[in-house]
Chain A
Amino acid sequence: MAQSILKAARVIRSKNSGPYELTLDIIFKNKRYYDLFRRRGIVTKKSIAALYRRPVKDVLKLLYFEPATALKITLRRPIPSGHPGETDIYGAQQHAPLLRITY
Protein backbone atom coordinates (compact mmCIF):
# COMPACT_ATOMS: atom_id res chain seq x y z
CA MET A 1 0.00 0.00 0.00
CA ALA A 2 1.39 3.36 -0.99
CA GLN A 3 2.01 5.75 1.90
CA SER A 4 1.37 9.49 1.86
CA ILE A 5 4.43 11.73 1.96
CA LEU A 6 2.89 13.25 5.10
CA LYS A 7 4.08 10.16 6.94
CA ALA A 8 7.70 10.86 5.96
CA ALA A 9 7.91 14.68 5.88
CA ARG A 10 7.99 17.19 8.70
CA VAL A 11 7.93 20.29 6.52
CA ILE A 12 6.64 20.80 2.99
CA ARG A 13 6.85 24.41 1.89
CA SER A 14 7.34 26.77 -1.03
CA LYS A 15 8.91 30.19 -1.26
CA ASN A 16 10.47 32.61 -3.73
CA SER A 17 14.13 32.24 -4.48
CA GLY A 18 14.33 35.68 -6.02
CA PRO A 19 11.46 36.96 -8.19
CA TYR A 20 12.03 34.48 -11.03
CA GLU A 21 12.24 31.14 -9.24
CA LEU A 22 10.12 29.15 -6.84
CA THR A 23 11.79 26.82 -4.43
CA LEU A 24 10.16 23.83 -2.76
CA ASP A 25 11.50 22.23 0.41
CA ILE A 26 10.62 18.78 1.67
CA ILE A 27 12.20 18.23 5.08
CA PHE A 28 11.99 14.61 6.18
CA LYS A 29 11.18 13.53 9.73
CA ASN A 30 14.46 11.66 10.04
CA LYS A 31 17.45 10.34 8.17
CA ARG A 32 15.69 7.03 7.52
CA TYR A 33 12.99 8.64 5.39
CA TYR A 34 15.56 10.93 3.78
CA ASP A 35 17.67 7.93 2.78
CA LEU A 36 14.62 6.01 1.57
CA PHE A 37 13.50 8.81 -0.74
CA ARG A 38 17.00 9.44 -1.95
CA ARG A 39 17.86 5.80 -2.57
CA ARG A 40 14.60 4.93 -4.28
CA GLY A 41 14.50 8.16 -6.30
CA ILE A 42 10.84 8.60 -5.39
CA VAL A 43 10.82 12.24 -6.47
CA THR A 44 12.27 13.07 -9.87
CA LYS A 45 12.39 16.11 -12.11
CA LYS A 46 9.90 14.32 -14.30
CA SER A 47 7.43 13.61 -11.49
CA ILE A 48 7.64 17.22 -10.29
CA ALA A 49 7.09 18.50 -13.83
CA ALA A 50 3.98 16.34 -14.06
CA LEU A 51 2.67 17.47 -10.66
CA TYR A 52 3.04 21.13 -11.61
CA ARG A 53 2.02 20.69 -15.23
CA ARG A 54 5.29 22.23 -16.46
CA PRO A 55 7.86 21.04 -18.96
CA VAL A 56 10.74 19.10 -17.35
CA LYS A 57 13.21 21.85 -18.28
CA ASP A 58 11.34 24.22 -15.94
CA VAL A 59 12.35 22.01 -13.02
CA LEU A 60 15.72 23.67 -12.56
CA LYS A 61 17.13 21.82 -9.58
CA LEU A 62 16.43 18.76 -7.51
CA LEU A 63 18.96 18.10 -4.80
CA TYR A 64 19.29 16.41 -1.44
CA PHE A 65 20.80 18.28 1.52
CA GLU A 66 21.81 15.91 4.26
CA PRO A 67 22.43 18.32 7.18
CA ALA A 68 18.73 19.22 7.05
CA THR A 69 17.55 15.76 5.83
CA ALA A 70 15.85 17.70 3.09
CA LEU A 71 15.05 17.58 -0.58
CA LYS A 72 15.05 20.85 -2.45
CA ILE A 73 13.42 21.48 -5.80
CA THR A 74 13.56 24.73 -7.73
CA LEU A 75 11.09 25.65 -10.47
CA ARG A 76 11.00 28.44 -12.98
CA ARG A 77 8.10 30.74 -12.15
CA PRO A 78 5.55 30.92 -15.00
CA ILE A 79 5.21 34.67 -14.27
CA PRO A 80 7.82 36.58 -12.23
CA SER A 81 6.72 37.75 -8.78
CA GLY A 82 4.46 40.79 -8.90
CA HIS A 83 4.09 41.03 -12.67
CA PRO A 84 0.54 41.57 -13.99
CA GLY A 85 -1.49 38.36 -13.83
CA GLU A 86 0.76 36.79 -11.20
CA THR A 87 -0.99 35.07 -8.29
CA ASP A 88 1.40 34.55 -5.37
CA ILE A 89 3.93 37.34 -4.77
CA TYR A 90 5.83 35.48 -2.02
CA GLY A 91 5.39 32.08 -3.64
CA ALA A 92 4.42 30.72 -0.24
CA GLN A 93 1.34 28.72 -1.34
CA GLN A 94 2.74 26.64 -4.20
CA HIS A 95 3.52 23.54 -2.17
CA ALA A 96 0.15 21.77 -2.26
CA PRO A 97 0.79 19.47 -5.25
CA LEU A 98 3.71 17.93 -3.33
CA LEU A 99 1.19 16.58 -0.81
CA ARG A 100 0.08 14.11 -3.51
CA ILE A 101 3.45 12.33 -3.50
CA THR A 102 3.28 8.75 -2.28
CA TYR A 103 5.96 6.14 -1.68
Chain B
Amino acid sequence: MRKREDEFRVLSTTAILGYGFPQASFEAGLRRRPHLIAVDAGSTDPGPYYLGAGKSFTNRDAVKRDLRFMLKAGIARGIPVVIGSAGGSGARPHVDWCEAIVREIAREEKLKFRMAVVYADVDKRRVRAHLRKGEIVPLACVPPLDEETLDASINIVAQMGVEPLLQALDTGCDVVLAGRCYDPAVFAAPAIRRGFDPGLALHMGKILECAAIAATPGSGADCAMGTLKKDSFILEALNPKRKFTKASTAAHTLYEKSDPTHLPGPGGEIDLTDCTFTELPGGRVEVRGSRHVDSERYYVKLEGVRRAGFRTISVAGTRDPIMIASIDPILKAVEAQVRDILKAEKIAGRVCFHVYGRDGVMGALEPETEIRGHELGLVIEAVAPTERESESLCSLTRSTLLHYGYPGRISTAGNLAFPFSPSDVKMGEVFEFSLYHLMPVKDQGIFKIRTVRI
Protein backbone atom coordinates (compact mmCIF):
# COMPACT_ATOMS: atom_id res chain seq x y z
CA MET B 1 0.00 0.00 0.00
CA ARG B 2 2.82 2.36 0.91
CA LYS B 3 4.32 2.10 -2.58
CA ARG B 4 1.07 3.08 -4.23
CA GLU B 5 1.23 6.47 -2.56
CA ASP B 6 4.72 7.16 -3.90
CA GLU B 7 3.37 7.95 -7.29
CA PHE B 8 0.18 9.18 -8.89
CA ARG B 9 -0.67 7.92 -12.36
CA VAL B 10 -2.96 9.89 -14.65
CA LEU B 11 -4.55 8.56 -17.81
CA SER B 12 -5.33 11.34 -20.28
CA THR B 13 -7.60 9.95 -22.97
CA THR B 14 -7.68 12.56 -25.73
CA ALA B 15 -6.74 16.18 -26.41
CA ILE B 16 -10.38 17.31 -26.48
CA LEU B 17 -13.28 15.14 -25.37
CA GLY B 18 -14.83 13.96 -28.64
CA TYR B 19 -11.57 13.81 -30.61
CA GLY B 20 -11.49 10.04 -30.03
CA PHE B 21 -8.73 7.59 -29.05
CA PRO B 22 -7.75 4.03 -30.00
CA GLN B 23 -9.32 1.47 -27.66
CA ALA B 24 -5.98 -0.38 -27.47
CA SER B 25 -4.21 2.72 -26.08
CA PHE B 26 -6.98 3.24 -23.53
CA GLU B 27 -6.75 -0.38 -22.38
CA ALA B 28 -2.95 -0.16 -22.18
CA GLY B 29 -3.50 2.86 -19.94
CA LEU B 30 -5.93 0.96 -17.71
CA ARG B 31 -3.40 -1.87 -17.33
CA ARG B 32 -1.04 0.68 -15.76
CA ARG B 33 -3.64 1.03 -12.96
CA PRO B 34 -4.19 4.80 -13.12
CA HIS B 35 -5.34 6.76 -10.06
CA LEU B 36 -7.27 9.13 -12.30
CA ILE B 37 -8.88 9.22 -15.74
CA ALA B 38 -9.19 12.80 -16.90
CA VAL B 39 -9.94 14.79 -20.01
CA ASP B 40 -10.04 18.40 -21.04
CA ALA B 41 -13.09 19.12 -23.17
CA GLY B 42 -12.64 22.74 -24.06
CA SER B 43 -10.85 25.65 -25.62
CA THR B 44 -11.41 29.19 -26.86
CA ASP B 45 -9.53 28.19 -30.00
CA PRO B 46 -12.54 27.53 -32.25
CA GLY B 47 -13.53 31.15 -31.77
CA PRO B 48 -16.25 33.04 -29.92
CA TYR B 49 -19.31 31.47 -31.59
CA TYR B 50 -19.62 28.39 -29.38
CA LEU B 51 -19.52 30.25 -26.09
CA GLY B 52 -22.10 32.74 -27.38
CA ALA B 53 -24.44 30.21 -28.95
CA GLY B 54 -24.19 27.81 -25.98
CA LYS B 55 -23.21 25.02 -28.36
CA SER B 56 -20.41 22.50 -28.38
CA PHE B 57 -17.81 22.53 -31.15
CA THR B 58 -17.39 18.77 -30.75
CA ASN B 59 -19.85 16.28 -32.13
CA ARG B 60 -22.36 14.78 -29.65
CA ASP B 61 -21.94 11.17 -30.82
CA ALA B 62 -18.15 11.48 -30.62
CA VAL B 63 -18.30 12.93 -27.10
CA LYS B 64 -20.65 10.15 -26.05
CA ARG B 65 -18.35 7.50 -27.48
CA ASP B 66 -15.28 8.85 -25.60
CA LEU B 67 -17.22 9.32 -22.37
CA ARG B 68 -18.74 5.84 -22.50
CA PHE B 69 -15.26 4.25 -22.41
CA MET B 70 -14.12 6.53 -19.60
CA LEU B 71 -17.20 6.18 -17.38
CA LYS B 72 -17.52 2.42 -17.78
CA ALA B 73 -13.85 1.80 -16.99
CA GLY B 74 -13.63 4.36 -14.19
CA ILE B 75 -16.75 3.26 -12.34
CA ALA B 76 -16.00 -0.47 -12.66
CA ARG B 77 -12.50 0.06 -11.21
CA GLY B 78 -13.24 2.80 -8.68
CA ILE B 79 -11.04 5.31 -10.53
CA PRO B 80 -12.29 8.91 -10.43
CA VAL B 81 -13.24 10.40 -13.80
CA VAL B 82 -12.77 14.16 -14.11
CA ILE B 83 -13.94 16.21 -17.10
CA GLY B 84 -12.91 19.85 -17.51
CA SER B 85 -14.45 22.65 -19.62
CA ALA B 86 -17.46 20.47 -20.40
CA GLY B 87 -19.21 21.10 -23.69
CA GLY B 88 -16.24 22.99 -25.09
CA SER B 89 -16.79 26.46 -23.69
CA GLY B 90 -17.80 25.38 -20.19
CA ALA B 91 -20.78 27.71 -19.58
CA ARG B 92 -24.00 26.38 -18.06
CA PRO B 93 -25.64 25.31 -21.37
CA HIS B 94 -22.45 23.43 -22.29
CA VAL B 95 -22.25 21.70 -18.90
CA ASP B 96 -25.95 20.79 -19.06
CA TRP B 97 -25.42 19.36 -22.55
CA CYS B 98 -22.59 17.17 -21.30
CA GLU B 99 -24.52 16.12 -18.19
CA ALA B 100 -27.37 14.89 -20.41
CA ILE B 101 -24.86 12.73 -22.29
CA VAL B 102 -23.45 11.34 -19.03
CA ARG B 103 -26.98 10.46 -17.85
CA GLU B 104 -27.77 8.81 -21.17
CA ILE B 105 -24.67 6.63 -20.94
CA ALA B 106 -25.44 5.75 -17.30
CA ARG B 107 -28.94 4.63 -18.33
CA GLU B 108 -27.71 2.60 -21.26
CA GLU B 109 -24.86 0.96 -19.33
CA LYS B 110 -26.76 0.67 -16.03
CA LEU B 111 -24.03 2.60 -14.20
CA LYS B 112 -24.60 3.94 -10.69
CA PHE B 113 -22.37 6.68 -9.31
CA ARG B 114 -22.21 10.04 -7.61
CA MET B 115 -21.27 13.05 -9.68
CA ALA B 116 -20.28 16.60 -8.78
CA VAL B 117 -21.14 19.28 -11.31
CA VAL B 118 -19.08 22.45 -10.93
CA TYR B 119 -20.31 25.58 -12.69
CA ALA B 120 -17.94 28.27 -13.91
CA ASP B 121 -20.53 30.93 -14.78
CA VAL B 122 -19.92 34.35 -13.29
CA ASP B 123 -22.67 36.77 -12.36
CA LYS B 124 -22.40 40.12 -14.18
CA ARG B 125 -23.03 41.94 -10.91
CA ARG B 126 -19.88 40.49 -9.44
CA VAL B 127 -17.82 41.56 -12.46
CA ARG B 128 -19.38 45.03 -12.31
CA ALA B 129 -18.52 45.43 -8.63
CA HIS B 130 -14.86 44.65 -9.38
CA LEU B 131 -14.92 46.82 -12.50
CA ARG B 132 -16.11 49.84 -10.49
CA LYS B 133 -13.26 49.27 -8.06
CA GLY B 134 -10.82 49.20 -10.98
CA GLU B 135 -9.92 45.56 -10.34
CA ILE B 136 -10.61 44.04 -13.77
CA VAL B 137 -7.30 43.65 -15.60
CA PRO B 138 -7.24 43.21 -19.40
CA LEU B 139 -4.84 40.59 -20.74
CA ALA B 140 -2.29 41.56 -23.40
CA CYS B 141 -3.83 43.24 -26.48
CA VAL B 142 -7.32 43.21 -24.93
CA PRO B 143 -9.13 46.54 -24.58
CA PRO B 144 -9.98 47.58 -21.01
CA LEU B 145 -13.46 46.50 -19.94
CA ASP B 146 -16.24 49.09 -19.77
CA GLU B 147 -19.78 48.75 -18.44
CA GLU B 148 -21.37 48.86 -21.88
CA THR B 149 -19.27 45.89 -23.03
CA LEU B 150 -20.08 44.05 -19.82
CA ASP B 151 -23.82 44.70 -20.31
CA ALA B 152 -23.66 43.27 -23.83
CA SER B 153 -21.70 40.18 -22.77
CA ILE B 154 -23.27 36.75 -22.49
CA ASN B 155 -22.24 33.42 -20.98
CA ILE B 156 -19.44 34.87 -18.87
CA VAL B 157 -17.27 32.13 -17.39
CA ALA B 158 -14.17 32.09 -15.23
CA GLN B 159 -11.43 29.52 -15.67
CA MET B 160 -11.42 27.61 -12.40
CA GLY B 161 -8.20 26.44 -10.84
CA VAL B 162 -7.69 23.30 -8.78
CA GLU B 163 -9.51 24.57 -5.66
CA PRO B 164 -13.16 24.08 -6.75
CA LEU B 165 -12.21 20.67 -8.14
CA LEU B 166 -10.66 19.74 -4.79
CA GLN B 167 -13.90 20.74 -3.08
CA ALA B 168 -15.84 18.62 -5.56
CA LEU B 169 -13.55 15.62 -4.97
CA ASP B 170 -13.95 16.07 -1.21
CA THR B 171 -17.65 15.36 -1.56
CA GLY B 172 -16.61 11.78 -2.38
CA CYS B 173 -18.01 11.83 -5.90
CA ASP B 174 -16.88 9.26 -8.48
CA VAL B 175 -17.23 11.66 -11.40
CA VAL B 176 -16.56 15.39 -11.58
CA LEU B 177 -18.07 17.31 -14.47
CA ALA B 178 -16.66 20.81 -14.46
CA GLY B 179 -17.45 23.96 -16.41
CA ARG B 180 -14.68 26.17 -17.76
CA CYS B 181 -11.38 25.06 -16.27
CA TYR B 182 -7.77 26.06 -16.48
CA ASP B 183 -6.80 23.17 -18.76
CA PRO B 184 -4.20 21.49 -16.48
CA ALA B 185 -6.42 21.72 -13.36
CA VAL B 186 -8.42 18.53 -13.91
CA PHE B 187 -5.23 16.47 -14.17
CA ALA B 188 -3.50 18.19 -11.27
CA ALA B 189 -6.23 18.63 -8.64
CA PRO B 190 -6.56 14.97 -7.57
CA ALA B 191 -2.76 14.66 -7.33
CA ILE B 192 -2.41 17.86 -5.30
CA ARG B 193 -5.10 16.45 -3.01
CA ARG B 194 -2.81 13.48 -2.37
CA GLY B 195 -0.01 15.83 -1.38
CA PHE B 196 2.02 15.99 -4.61
CA ASP B 197 3.85 19.16 -5.60
CA PRO B 198 1.52 21.65 -7.36
CA GLY B 199 4.20 22.88 -9.78
CA LEU B 200 4.95 19.39 -11.04
CA ALA B 201 1.28 18.38 -10.99
CA LEU B 202 0.21 21.43 -13.02
CA HIS B 203 3.08 21.16 -15.49
CA MET B 204 2.23 17.49 -16.01
CA GLY B 205 -1.41 18.55 -16.47
CA LYS B 206 -0.37 21.18 -19.00
CA ILE B 207 1.23 18.46 -21.13
CA LEU B 208 -1.45 15.80 -20.51
CA GLU B 209 -4.30 18.12 -21.43
CA CYS B 210 -3.21 17.69 -25.05
CA ALA B 211 -2.96 13.89 -24.56
CA ALA B 212 -0.50 12.46 -27.09
CA ILE B 213 0.10 15.73 -28.98
CA ALA B 214 3.37 16.15 -27.09
CA ALA B 215 4.61 12.69 -28.14
CA THR B 216 6.28 12.00 -31.46
CA PRO B 217 4.61 11.46 -33.84
CA GLY B 218 2.07 13.60 -32.03
CA SER B 219 -1.67 13.02 -32.04
CA GLY B 220 -4.58 14.73 -30.35
CA ALA B 221 -6.61 11.57 -30.79
CA ASP B 222 -4.57 9.18 -28.66
CA CYS B 223 -4.04 8.56 -24.95
CA ALA B 224 -1.04 9.48 -22.82
CA MET B 225 0.03 8.55 -19.31
CA GLY B 226 1.63 10.76 -16.71
CA THR B 227 3.26 9.42 -13.55
CA LEU B 228 3.80 11.99 -10.85
CA LYS B 229 6.50 11.35 -8.26
CA LYS B 230 7.87 13.28 -5.33
CA ASP B 231 10.21 15.50 -7.33
CA SER B 232 9.57 14.67 -10.98
CA PHE B 233 7.01 13.38 -13.41
CA ILE B 234 7.28 10.89 -16.24
CA LEU B 235 5.35 10.95 -19.51
CA GLU B 236 4.74 7.96 -21.70
CA ALA B 237 2.72 7.18 -24.79
CA LEU B 238 0.33 4.22 -24.71
CA ASN B 239 0.54 3.45 -28.38
CA PRO B 240 3.66 1.59 -29.61
CA LYS B 241 3.67 3.93 -32.64
CA ARG B 242 4.56 6.94 -30.46
CA LYS B 243 7.07 7.92 -27.84
CA PHE B 244 7.86 10.96 -25.76
CA THR B 245 11.26 12.45 -26.50
CA LYS B 246 13.09 15.31 -24.88
CA ALA B 247 12.58 17.37 -28.03
CA SER B 248 8.88 16.58 -28.45
CA THR B 249 8.12 17.32 -24.81
CA ALA B 250 10.15 20.52 -24.59
CA ALA B 251 8.71 21.72 -27.91
CA HIS B 252 5.22 21.19 -26.55
CA THR B 253 6.00 23.61 -23.74
CA LEU B 254 5.99 26.31 -26.44
CA TYR B 255 2.70 25.28 -27.93
CA GLU B 256 -0.07 27.90 -27.93
CA LYS B 257 1.71 29.95 -25.29
CA SER B 258 3.36 33.31 -25.69
CA ASP B 259 6.06 32.56 -23.10
CA PRO B 260 7.30 28.99 -22.55
CA THR B 261 8.89 29.59 -19.15
CA HIS B 262 6.14 31.41 -17.28
CA LEU B 263 2.70 29.88 -17.66
CA PRO B 264 0.10 31.93 -15.84
CA GLY B 265 -3.00 30.28 -14.38
CA PRO B 266 -5.55 30.86 -11.63
CA GLY B 267 -3.81 32.10 -8.49
CA GLY B 268 -0.27 32.01 -9.83
CA GLU B 269 2.00 30.68 -12.52
CA ILE B 270 4.09 27.65 -13.39
CA ASP B 271 7.72 28.70 -13.54
CA LEU B 272 9.74 26.50 -15.87
CA THR B 273 12.98 28.47 -15.71
CA ASP B 274 14.85 25.59 -14.03
CA CYS B 275 12.97 22.80 -15.73
CA THR B 276 14.87 19.84 -17.21
CA PHE B 277 13.75 17.07 -19.57
CA THR B 278 15.51 13.70 -19.50
CA GLU B 279 14.87 10.76 -21.80
CA LEU B 280 14.32 7.39 -20.11
CA PRO B 281 14.27 3.99 -21.79
CA GLY B 282 10.98 2.92 -23.37
CA GLY B 283 10.06 6.23 -25.02
CA ARG B 284 9.55 8.02 -21.73
CA VAL B 285 10.60 11.48 -20.60
CA GLU B 286 11.19 12.61 -17.04
CA VAL B 287 10.61 16.26 -16.17
CA ARG B 288 12.05 18.00 -13.11
CA GLY B 289 12.24 21.46 -11.68
CA SER B 290 8.76 22.84 -12.52
CA ARG B 291 7.61 25.18 -9.76
CA HIS B 292 4.30 26.80 -8.93
CA VAL B 293 4.56 30.37 -7.74
CA ASP B 294 1.49 31.84 -6.05
CA SER B 295 0.57 35.35 -7.12
CA GLU B 296 0.04 38.00 -4.48
CA ARG B 297 -3.64 38.14 -5.26
CA TYR B 298 -5.73 35.24 -6.61
CA TYR B 299 -6.94 36.12 -10.10
CA VAL B 300 -9.11 34.07 -12.47
CA LYS B 301 -9.42 34.65 -16.19
CA LEU B 302 -12.87 35.65 -17.41
CA GLU B 303 -14.15 34.75 -20.85
CA GLY B 304 -17.25 36.23 -22.40
CA VAL B 305 -18.62 37.18 -25.79
CA ARG B 306 -21.14 39.57 -27.24
CA ARG B 307 -23.27 39.31 -30.33
CA ALA B 308 -21.85 41.24 -33.26
CA GLY B 309 -24.94 40.61 -35.43
CA PHE B 310 -25.92 38.11 -38.09
CA ARG B 311 -23.84 36.97 -41.02
CA THR B 312 -24.66 36.10 -44.62
CA ILE B 313 -21.92 35.07 -47.04
CA SER B 314 -21.56 34.52 -50.76
CA VAL B 315 -18.79 32.52 -52.44
CA ALA B 316 -17.62 33.41 -55.94
CA GLY B 317 -14.59 33.36 -58.20
CA THR B 318 -13.13 35.57 -60.87
CA ARG B 319 -11.04 34.49 -63.87
CA ASP B 320 -10.74 37.79 -65.72
CA PRO B 321 -7.10 39.01 -65.77
CA ILE B 322 -8.14 42.65 -66.23
CA MET B 323 -10.38 42.48 -63.16
CA ILE B 324 -7.76 40.56 -61.14
CA ALA B 325 -5.13 43.17 -61.94
CA SER B 326 -7.23 45.88 -60.31
CA ILE B 327 -9.10 43.85 -57.70
CA ASP B 328 -8.25 46.21 -54.81
CA PRO B 329 -9.68 49.42 -56.31
CA ILE B 330 -12.69 47.46 -57.58
CA LEU B 331 -13.54 46.04 -54.15
CA LYS B 332 -12.94 49.40 -52.54
CA ALA B 333 -15.31 51.11 -55.01
CA VAL B 334 -17.98 48.43 -54.56
CA GLU B 335 -17.75 48.72 -50.80
CA ALA B 336 -18.09 52.51 -50.97
CA GLN B 337 -21.13 52.22 -53.23
CA VAL B 338 -22.73 49.68 -50.87
CA ARG B 339 -21.92 51.83 -47.85
CA ASP B 340 -23.75 54.82 -49.39
CA ILE B 341 -26.84 52.72 -49.99
CA LEU B 342 -26.68 51.36 -46.44
CA LYS B 343 -26.51 54.88 -45.10
CA ALA B 344 -29.59 55.90 -47.09
CA GLU B 345 -31.44 52.77 -45.95
CA LYS B 346 -30.23 53.25 -42.35
CA ILE B 347 -28.77 49.75 -42.12
CA ALA B 348 -25.89 49.48 -39.68
CA GLY B 349 -24.00 46.71 -41.37
CA ARG B 350 -20.52 46.14 -42.67
CA VAL B 351 -19.10 44.12 -45.47
CA CYS B 352 -15.70 42.43 -45.76
CA PHE B 353 -14.17 40.69 -48.75
CA HIS B 354 -12.02 37.63 -48.26
CA VAL B 355 -9.84 37.40 -51.36
CA TYR B 356 -8.36 33.90 -51.70
CA GLY B 357 -5.36 33.96 -54.00
CA ARG B 358 -4.28 37.32 -52.63
CA ASP B 359 -4.60 37.65 -48.83
CA GLY B 360 -7.57 35.43 -47.96
CA VAL B 361 -5.50 33.58 -45.36
CA MET B 362 -3.40 36.34 -43.83
CA GLY B 363 -5.34 39.56 -44.34
CA ALA B 364 -3.38 42.52 -42.98
CA LEU B 365 -0.37 40.30 -42.14
CA GLU B 366 0.17 39.24 -45.78
CA PRO B 367 3.56 40.46 -47.01
CA GLU B 368 3.05 39.26 -50.61
CA THR B 369 1.66 42.13 -52.69
CA GLU B 370 1.76 40.58 -56.14
CA ILE B 371 -1.08 38.33 -57.30
CA ARG B 372 0.46 35.34 -59.10
CA GLY B 373 -2.58 33.17 -59.75
CA HIS B 374 -4.82 33.16 -62.80
CA GLU B 375 -8.00 33.21 -60.73
CA LEU B 376 -9.18 34.61 -57.39
CA GLY B 377 -11.66 33.22 -54.90
CA LEU B 378 -13.93 35.73 -53.21
CA VAL B 379 -16.05 35.40 -50.12
CA ILE B 380 -18.40 38.26 -49.40
CA GLU B 381 -19.00 38.53 -45.66
CA ALA B 382 -21.97 40.69 -44.66
CA VAL B 383 -22.60 41.31 -40.96
CA ALA B 384 -25.61 43.35 -39.82
CA PRO B 385 -27.73 43.72 -36.68
CA THR B 386 -30.55 41.50 -37.95
CA GLU B 387 -30.61 38.42 -40.13
CA ARG B 388 -32.76 40.20 -42.70
CA GLU B 389 -30.37 43.12 -42.91
CA SER B 390 -27.38 40.83 -43.32
CA GLU B 391 -29.17 39.07 -46.19
CA SER B 392 -29.97 42.42 -47.84
CA LEU B 393 -26.40 43.59 -47.40
CA CYS B 394 -24.93 40.41 -48.86
CA SER B 395 -27.34 40.44 -51.77
CA LEU B 396 -26.66 44.10 -52.51
CA THR B 397 -22.88 43.63 -52.38
CA ARG B 398 -23.02 40.50 -54.51
CA SER B 399 -25.14 42.10 -57.24
CA THR B 400 -23.13 45.34 -57.20
CA LEU B 401 -19.85 43.44 -57.59
CA LEU B 402 -21.32 41.11 -60.22
CA HIS B 403 -22.22 43.98 -62.51
CA TYR B 404 -19.69 46.58 -61.49
CA GLY B 405 -18.32 48.43 -64.54
CA TYR B 406 -14.70 48.78 -63.57
CA PRO B 407 -12.29 50.76 -65.75
CA GLY B 408 -11.07 48.67 -68.71
CA ARG B 409 -13.80 46.03 -68.41
CA ILE B 410 -14.47 44.11 -71.64
CA SER B 411 -16.37 41.14 -70.14
CA THR B 412 -19.66 42.95 -69.70
CA ALA B 413 -21.90 39.95 -68.93
CA GLY B 414 -20.89 39.63 -65.27
CA ASN B 415 -17.76 39.69 -63.12
CA LEU B 416 -18.26 36.64 -60.93
CA ALA B 417 -18.50 32.86 -61.21
CA PHE B 418 -20.81 31.37 -58.57
CA PRO B 419 -20.42 27.71 -57.71
CA PHE B 420 -23.77 27.52 -55.91
CA SER B 421 -27.40 28.41 -56.39
CA PRO B 422 -28.61 29.91 -54.12
CA SER B 423 -25.47 32.00 -54.08
CA ASP B 424 -25.98 33.45 -50.61
CA VAL B 425 -25.76 31.47 -47.38
CA LYS B 426 -27.13 32.52 -44.01
CA MET B 427 -24.53 31.84 -41.34
CA GLY B 428 -26.65 32.85 -38.36
CA GLU B 429 -25.44 34.73 -35.32
CA VAL B 430 -21.94 36.17 -35.11
CA PHE B 431 -20.19 36.62 -31.80
CA GLU B 432 -16.99 38.33 -30.81
CA PHE B 433 -14.91 38.06 -27.67
CA SER B 434 -15.70 40.84 -25.23
CA LEU B 435 -14.22 39.57 -21.99
CA TYR B 436 -10.74 38.18 -21.72
CA HIS B 437 -9.75 39.79 -18.48
CA LEU B 438 -8.51 38.88 -15.04
CA MET B 439 -10.73 39.25 -11.99
CA PRO B 440 -9.58 38.87 -8.38
CA VAL B 441 -11.39 36.27 -6.25
CA LYS B 442 -11.30 36.14 -2.46
CA ASP B 443 -12.73 32.65 -2.07
CA GLN B 444 -13.88 30.02 -4.51
CA GLY B 445 -17.57 30.73 -3.87
CA ILE B 446 -18.17 31.83 -7.46
CA PHE B 447 -17.84 28.20 -8.56
CA LYS B 448 -21.09 26.50 -7.55
CA ILE B 449 -21.00 22.78 -6.89
CA ARG B 450 -24.03 20.49 -7.23
CA THR B 451 -23.80 16.80 -6.39
CA VAL B 452 -26.13 14.27 -7.95
CA ARG B 453 -26.72 10.56 -7.58
CA ILE B 454 -26.99 8.81 -10.93
Give A contacts to B, CB under 8 Å: 11, 15-21, 23, 25, 27, 51-54, 60-61, 63, 65, 67-70, 72, 74-90, 93-94, 96-97, 100
Contact among B251, B276, B433 for A70, CB-based, below 8 A: B251
With A65-B253, A84-B432 already in contact, the answer to whether A89 and B47 are too (CB < 8 A) is yes
B350 to chain A: which residues have CB within 8 Å? 84-85
B308 to chain A: which residues have CB within 8 Å? 83-84
Interface residues as binary, B328-351 with A (CB distance below 8 Å gives 1, 0 otherwise): 000000000000000000000010
Residues of chain B at interface, number, CB under 8 A: 48
Closest beta carbon of chain B to A12's beta carbon, Å:
12
B421: interface (CB < 8 Å): no
A18 to chain B: which residues have CB within 8 Å? 44, 139, 258, 436
With A76-B141, A84-B383 already in contact, the answer to whether A63 and B436 are too (CB < 8 A) is no
Contact among A25, A51, A87 for B360, CB-based, below 8 A: A87
Q: Which of B225-267 contact A (CB under 8 A)?
A: 246-247, 250-251, 253-261
Are B381 and A85 in contact (CB-based, < 8 A)? yes
4 additional A-B pairs beyond A20-B141, A93-B361, beta carbons within 8 Å, are A17-B258, A23-B254, A67-B277, A68-B247
B352: interface (CB < 8 Å): yes
B430 to chain A: which residues have CB within 8 Å? 84
Which residue of chain A has its CB nearest to the CB of B301?
A18
Are A61 and B258 in contact (CB-based, < 8 A)? yes
B417: interface (CB < 8 Å): no
Complexed CA–CA distance, A67 and B254 (Å): 10
Contact among B48, B275, B366, B383 for A81, CB-based, below 8 A: B48
With A67-B277, A84-B350 already in contact, the answer to whether A19 and B48 are too (CB < 8 A) is yes
A68 to chain B: which residues have CB within 8 Å? 247, 250-251, 253-254, 260
